[in-house]
């Protein structure tokens, strides 16, 4: 194509663009100016998908939440619109070029995730609130596709695992700086900790869960310098970030996150002793059995704890076991009781994914209600990653969730025990402990449906799958690139 022809094409395209935009302004089509950006984003998905995913990893923590944009729907901007675009564009891309690694679909973690999606679709068809279930299914699809199925090819290049974590960590650091600055104006009062994370994180619980998620890998970087071999300025920067993260977690006043870190530290004992994962699991179930057997005696002891949430940190942590007067704990028990009663009424298919907040009201017993109870579906969910699928998708949905946790942790344990390269080994350890913090946190809260946690939840599963498929038997320097 000669220079004259190039000029003709250039001026022709410019004239067409100006004409289309002029018509849009005249017709009051306010969405039209965004089309070139959508087109550019589509090109990036097709030709630089790795950059899009890494950019998204930085944008998610900084995205702003809007509770109601109409029809009772909320949105996180700009992250969720980008996720909506990635889902169809990425599927179209892989259908055209056919280059997606099919061995991914044979991995045990992937098999469980696919079964989860299929069962979510089935229970959507029988849902009590179909619109809520469809919304839940679609949002879960774009989370799983973007952060898991697209994450695995991204993590085929080993350095992208640390880049992904680093970008999220850096963006969250900016949020932490904002939160600590705002919180300091109130002398780090517990009262203001519950809402001070807005508009970036919808609650202090989500914020603390995200911090706890990445703390273990930061500890690996700082306490294993010979393995990760960061240069001195970078090492000092990471150590400083670790300190800031610990301060932020401390001032989040989130007891579940504090407990998850304590249990992750405790888990280091059997891990370093290389005790088999199934043996640890037997011990955990034995302990759970003892708790169930002596539940009446335990509840009696807990009922003697009158310590409410407090600005004294030790007393605040101790209040986690107060089920007599602490409104937060009592309401959590109320939500759990509703979830169990809902499961009893519909044990097979549940009430439908994403429906708990709309249908749990009538299941509240008067003796369980608290000063913060509500009947209007505006008070959150079941406060459990395990009980929510039980009541929304039935026994099969809950078992699939437990199977996903088991498969992810058992794979991560195996990688830590068998990986040949130290960097792969201790990266697996950091990911394992990060996942463990959330699985512990998930007993008391449910945040995987939010983009802030979903990017870590599904991303860490993708990392474990990628390491298992591509990196466990070789040095990161020998691994395939994206």
Say yes or no to pLDDT of 289 above 80.
no
Res 181: pLDDT = 93
Helix (H, G, I), strand (E, B) or coil at 25: helix
Map the chain to HEC letters.
CCHHHHHHHHHHHHHHHHHHHHHHHHCCCCCHHHHHHHHHHHHHHHHCHHHHHHHHHHHHHHCEEECCCCCCCCEEECHHHHHHHHHHHHHHHHHHHCCCCHHHHHCHHHHHHHHHHHHHHHHHHCCCCHHHHHHHHHHHHHHHHHHHHCHHHHCCCCHHHHHHHHHHHHHHHHHHHHHHHHHHCCCCCHHHHCCCCCCCCCCHHHHHHHHHHHHHHHHHHHHCHHHHCCCHHHHHHHHHHHHHHHHHHHCCCCHHHHHHHHHHHHHHHHHHCCCCHHHHHHHHHHHHHHHHHCHHHHHHHHHCCCCCCCCCHHHHHHHHHCCCCCHHHHHHHHHHHHHHHHHHHCCCCCCCCCCHHHHCHHHCCCCCCCCCCCCCCCCCCCCCCCHHHHHHHHHHHHHHHHHHHHHHHHHHHHHHHHCCCHHHHHHHHHHHHHHHHHHHHCCCCCCCCCHHHHHHHHHHHHHHHHHHHHHCCCCHHHCCCC
Say yes or no to pLDDT of 471 above 50.
yes
- Nearest residue to 338 via CA among 387, 298, 386: 387
Res 5: pLDDT = 57
Work out the average pLDDT over 344-366: 89
Say yes or no to pLDDT of 96 above 80.
no
Res 237: pLDDT = 96
pLDDT band at 481; cut points 50, 70, 90: very low
Work out the average pLDDT over 179-195: 87
Res 323: pLDDT = 47
Question: How many angstroms separate the CA atoms of 303 and 322, rounded?
Answer: 7
Q: State in Å, rounded, how far the first CA of the chain is from the last one.
A: 33
Q: Give the residue extent of every domain in the chain.
A: 109-275+301-478
Res 4: pLDDT = 57
Q: Which range, of 297-311, 346-360, 418-432, 459-473, averages the lowest pLDDT?
A: 297-311
β-strand partners of 65: 76
pLDDT band at 288; cut points 50, 70, 90: low
β-strand partners of 77: 64
* Average pLDDT score, the chain: 82
Work out the average pLDDT over 34-47: 65
Q: How confident is the model over 197-249, as pLDDT tens digits?
A: 888 998 889 999 999 999 999 999 999 999 998 999 999 999 999 999 999 99
Q: How confident is the model over 120-178, as pLDDT tens digits?
A: 999 999 999 999 999 999 989 989 999 999 999 999 999 999 999 999 999 999 999 99
Question: How many angstroms separate the CA atoms of 111 and 127, rounded?
Answer: 24
Res 92: pLDDT = 75
Higher pLDDT, 90 or 309: 90
Angle at 206 between CA 201 and CA 212, to 5 degrees: 120
Say yes or no to pLDDT of 320 above 60.
no
pLDDT band at 291; cut points 50, 70, 90: low
Q: Are 50 and 90 in contact (CB under 8 A)?
A: no
Q: Are 138 and 449 in contact (CB under 8 A)?
A: no
Q: Are 449 and 357 in contact (CB under 8 A)?
A: no
Q: Which range, of 333-342, 376-385, 436-445, 472-481, averages the lowest pLDDT?
A: 472-481
Say yes or no to pLDDT of 343 above 50.
yes
Say yes or no to pLDDT of 482 above 50.
no
Say yes or no to pLDDT of 345 above 90.
yes
Q: Which range, of 16-20, 113-117, 125-129, 369-373, averages the lowest pLDDT?
A: 16-20
Say yes or no to pLDDT of 362 above 70.
yes
């Amino acid at each position: 194509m000669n220079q004259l022809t190039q000029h003709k094409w250039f001026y022709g395209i410019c004239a067409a663009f100006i004409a289309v935009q002029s018509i849009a302004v005249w017709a009051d089509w306010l969405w039209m100016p965004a089309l070139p950006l959508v087109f550019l984003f589509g090109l990036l998905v097709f030709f630089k998908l790795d950059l899009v995913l890494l950019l998204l990893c930085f944008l998610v923590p900084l995205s702003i939440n809007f509770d109601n944009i109409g029809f009772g729907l909320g949105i996180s901007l700009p992250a969720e619109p980008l996720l909506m675009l990635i889902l169809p564009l990425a599927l179209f891309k892989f259908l055209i070029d056919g280059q997606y690694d099919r061995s991914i679909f044979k991995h045990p973690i992937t098999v469980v995730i696919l079964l989860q999606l299929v069962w979510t679709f089935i229970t959507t068809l029988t849902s009590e609130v179909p619109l809520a279930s469809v919304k839940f299914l679609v949002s879960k699809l774009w989370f799983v596709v973007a952060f898991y199925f697209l994450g695995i090819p991204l993590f085929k290049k080993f350095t992208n695992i640390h880049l992904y974590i680093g970008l999220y960590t850096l963006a969250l650091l900016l949020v932490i700086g904002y939160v600590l600055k705002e919180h300091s104006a109130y002398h780090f009062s517990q009262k203001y900790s519950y809402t001070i994370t807005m508009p970036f994180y919808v609650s202090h619980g989500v914020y603390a869960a995200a911090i706890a998620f990445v703390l273990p890998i930061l500890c690996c970087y700082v306490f294993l310098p010979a393995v990760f071999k960061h240069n001195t300025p970078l090492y000092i920067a990471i150590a400083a970030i670790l300190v800031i993260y610990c301060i932020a977690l401390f001032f989040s006043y989130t007891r579940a996150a504090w407990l998850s870190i304590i249990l992750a530290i405790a888990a280091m004992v059997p891990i370093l002793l290389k005790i088999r994962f199934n043996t640890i699991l037997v011990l955990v179930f034995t302990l759970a059995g003892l708790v169930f057997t002596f539940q009446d005696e335990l509840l009696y002891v807990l009922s003697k704890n009158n310590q409410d949430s407090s600005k004294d940190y030790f007393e605040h942590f101790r209040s986690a076991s107060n089920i007599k007067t602490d409104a937060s704990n009592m309401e959590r028990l109320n939500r759990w009781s509703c979830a169990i009663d809902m499961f009893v009424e519909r044990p097979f298919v549940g009430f439908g994914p994403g429906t708990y907040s709309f249908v749990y009201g009538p299941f509240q017993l008067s003796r369980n209600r608290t000063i913060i109870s509500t009947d209007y579906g505006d008070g959150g969910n079941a406060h459990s990653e395990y009980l929510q699928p039980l009541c929304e998708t039935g026994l099969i949905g809950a078992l699939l969730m437990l199977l996903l946790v088991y498969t992810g942790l058992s794979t991560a344990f195996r990688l830590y025990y068998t990986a040949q390269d130290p960097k792969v080994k201790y990266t697996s350890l950091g990911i394992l402990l990060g996942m463990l913090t959330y699985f512990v946190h998930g007993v008391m809260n449910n945040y995987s449906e939010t983009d802030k946690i979903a990017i870590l939840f599904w991303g860490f599963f993708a990392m474990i799958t990628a390491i298992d498929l591509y990196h466990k038997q070789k040095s990161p320097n020998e691994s395939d690139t994206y």
